[in-house]
Structure 1
């Protein structure tokens, strides 16, 4: 991978020089063009024998990476042309784009949220909960219209496991889609459908019974259920990175819960040159973490 990176940087620099001096067409210029061609061939040879290089080239051909390379090219060209303001702006945008799509940055941000929720296994939990509340957002709809586990589906699996290990008497589902962002969906019913498929009996599954389109409304609905049913020992399950914000809302509502984190994504990825390239995993993690911090700040 290192050899491929050096070849790529060398070839890119020669290509830029050839483009800059394209009007001259001197023997030196043609030698530069030949060097670029040789570099491309060499890169192809290395890529044919290195799976990591193949993966990197594939990533660089994706739309997000192409935009990243174009921004880098714009910044380099601006510095070369001594257009200082344009160069500074292009470089700043490139750096921001690089950070926003970086896997390590995204995982570190998520990890900073998840570390506030200590991991606990069902077997380590004392006693039996009156109910386990599961925040909506763990389901999605397939192309056939049937509910399926989404990226946050681990929360549903954890709740089902708690029931299977006799750690709770009830599982409570909640959530509705927000008008204008999605088609009308009953997230609580989608969750219940998937729980039934996991072997959870209907008698165990409850719904808050009122529309709730955000975490604050879901917490308010849980509080009403606890008061009406006189439950004393309840748990709250959601993605571990989402629970700090949810717990702050529980505190405001006067709802005491045991937090159980699922869907932990904050593990710092091992070193790989692939993670230097902005990619979907990085953009997703950074956006999720920033949204959680923003939600905590505005109190929703």
Structure 2
């Protein structure tokens, strides 16, 4: 039930959802209270304009993504931990497992291993069966298939196949390294906007992690400062609303995890 509520309740407060609630209110109150309906319409329009323009999206992304920058140089670690949320399973008509936008996490983890930064690659991620992707395998197992195609030996790969959120990622990784007697710093790989929450959880559980972020998104949104780009940046886009929602979901996660004592 906790998992269902964690997936169901937060989206009700995202910009698009709030705009829809405001529009529904405006429709219901249009004839009896036109002033209230007008205010609701203004709120809906403001939500879409604010969450969809480049300037707000970039500012929100940078507030998370610039908290941890790539270390220079990258130190040696005892293991590389790659967090899930990056793979969709093989399912008709897909010929094979496929990488989503956040797949930079997995590719960067492979790169770090092949460069010799750690002797183990830990892949962490289960799969929620009712969330849309039907698969008999965990996401970690799907990631391992890609990793092995890239030439990394099976004996150097450790899997957490049951975690369904970031807290469980950290808890299960801790159990894995204790079971395999892995000691030392962990190179933690995840998307830059997700890194603050991931680092806080891992360190709260006593794990020594070195943040090695990837998948920086704000540079793809920010435009050079010309009058043409200023005009374009003010036009709301669906992609910006999605990115803004991703950031708000992270801040929601930080708050909820703090209230639950996970940070």
- Identify the TM-score tier after normalising by the shorter chain: 0.7 to 0.9
* Residue of 246, 249, 255 corresponding to 1:291: 249
* Residue of 193, 204, 207 corresponding to 2:159: 207
User: How do 1:92-131 and structure 2 match up within 5 A?
Assistant: 92-120=43-71, 124-126=73-75, 128-131=76-79
Alignment coverage as a number of residue pairs: 221
* Counterpart in the other structure of 2:11: none
Q: CA deviation at 1:145?
A: 5.3
Q: Secondary structure at the match of 2:98?
A: strand
| TM-score of the aligned structures, taking structure 2 as reference length | 0.76
Whether the 8 Å CA contact 1:129–1:234 is kept in 2: the answer is yes
* Residue of 172, 176, 185 corresponding to 1:233: 185
User: How do 1:169-180 and structure 2 match up within 5 A?
Assistant: 169-180=119-130
Whether the 8 Å CA contact 1:188–1:207 is kept in 2: the answer is yes
Unaligned 5+ runs, structure 2 = 1-15, 224-228
* Further displaced range: 150-159 or 192-201: 192-201
| TM-score of the aligned structures, taking structure 1 as reference length | 0.67
Cα separation, 2, equivalents of 1:107 and 1:196: 36
What is the CA RMSD across the aligned residues, in angstroms? Answer: 2.5
1:151 aligns with 2:101: yes
Q: CA deviation at 1:86?
A: 2.8
Cα separation, 2, equivalents of 1:216 and 1:115: 22
Cα separation, 2, equivalents of 1:125 and 1:90: 50
Whether the 8 Å CA contact 2:80–2:118 is kept in 1: the answer is yes
**Using a 3 Å threshold, how does the CA distance of structure 1 residues 275 and 140 change in structure 2: closer, same or farther?**
farther
Q: CA deviation at 1:179?
A: 3.4
Unaligned 5+ runs, structure 1 = 1-63
If you compute each CA radius of gyration, which structure gives the higher value, 1 or 2? 1
